[in-house]
Homo-oligomer: A and B are copies of this chain.
């Protein structure tokens, strides 16, 4: 666990919006273009673009151009990091080991 709380908080903030959480889940089934995602929601295209920017800049989602389309996909490393965050919190509960927050003063 080398990361700081700040990065995890950023991930969680990116997913704390219901629309973005749904998008993240949709992407778990594979790459999608913005137009595909837009069809699932009652939001305007600029609003979707705003959400995709937040997901991309957080590092949770990767993006690439494919001609006219922007293709989005989940960044596996960040998903793994999120899993580990909650797994480690669970471990603390079972083992009564040291807190994550100790030894993180450099953050």
- Give the B-binding residues of A (Cβ under 8 A): 5-6, 8-9, 12-13, 15-18, 21-22, 24-26, 28-30, 40, 74, 76, 79-80, 82-83, 86-87, 89-90, 92-93, 96-101
Contact = CB atoms under 8 A, between A and B. Distances in A.
A18 B30 contact: no
Contacts of A26: 99, 101
Given A26-B99, A79-B90, A87-B83, A21 B40 contact: no
* Dominant SS among interface residues on chain A: helix
Contacts of A13: 12-13, 16-17
A19 to B, nearest CB: 9
A18 B7 CA distance: 9
Given A28-B89, A83-B86, A12 B21 contact: yes
A92 B12 contact: no
Contacts of A40: 101
